[in-house]
Amino acid sequence: MISIAPGISYYPGYWNAAEQAALVAELRVVLKLAPLFTPTMPKTGKPFSVRMTNCGMLGWVSDREGYRYQEHHPLTGEPWPSIPLMVREAWEKIADYPHDPEACLINYYGPQAKMGLHQDRDEQDFEAPIVSFSLGDTAIFRIGGTERGGKTTSLKLHSGDALVFGGPARLVYHGIDRILAGTSTLLGREGRVNLTLRRVNKP
């Protein structure tokens, strides 16, 4: 583990190649039950460049009405599938938090997708960290401070890496500048999958 800043722990190669392949197989089952959808920006309705879905009791969605967590897939109306066991076990190992995650957001980035600098602040409980896993093509991740417009640094996230944002870093700004297409063969196509595990409600 490498401490990037107070509250930010980076685990390069947290999952080995066999574990990454097993995780992709688990995610293919999740995606059959809860297909990727294209979220849209609040108010403007502009589509995100990433597609997303969720597993867990709650899923994060965005549409013209705003950002929120909800219990059902916005297109199928079905409850979200459960979080794969290996992902829940990884949370137990690295979250340093004594309760289960409620939401696992699954983002899929095609080669052109990116994600603007944002804070993750739609949760009630900022005591819990956010744990993130990267699979597939390498991404350039940007990390700032807790104020918009502050100094930022960048970090390459490779397939199998884990990142934990907690404590003083729970509300830092971060985003994905770009995907380095073709840097991994794991997904059998270009692109990247990111999982972010969150506790939404206070326990």
Residues at the interface with ligand MD6 (CB under 6 A): 107, 115, 120, 130, 132, 141, 163, 165, 174, 176, 194, 196
* Closest distance of CB 93 from ligand MD6, Å: 16
Residues 120-139 interacting with Fe ion (rule: CB under 5 A): 120
Task: Considering the complex, state which of residue 57 and residue 95 has its C-beta at the smaller distance from ligand MD6.
Answer: 95
Q: In what order do the strands lie in the sheet with 174-180?
A: 115-118, 174-180, 138-143, 153-157
CA distance 145 to 5: 10
- Residue 90: helix, strand or coil by DSSP? helix
Total of chain residues touching Fe ion, rule CB under 5 A: 1
CA distance 37 to 51: 5
Residue 57 interacting partner from ligand MD6, Fe ion, none (CB closer than 5 to 8 Å by kind): none
Question: Which ranges constitute the DSSP H helices of the chain?
Answer: 17-33, 85-94
CA distance 109 to 56: 21
Task: Considering the complex, state which of residue 76 and residue 168 has its C-beta at the smaller distance from ligand MD6.
Answer: 168
Which residues, 6+ apart, have CB-to-CB distance to 185 below 8 Å? none
Side chain identity, residue 163: L
* Closest distance of CB 186 from ligand MD6, Å: 15
**x/- site string to Fe ion, residues 74 to 113, per CB under 5 A?**
----------------------------------------
Task: Considering the complex, state which of residue 91 and residue 165 has its C-beta at the smaller distance from ligand MD6.
Answer: 165
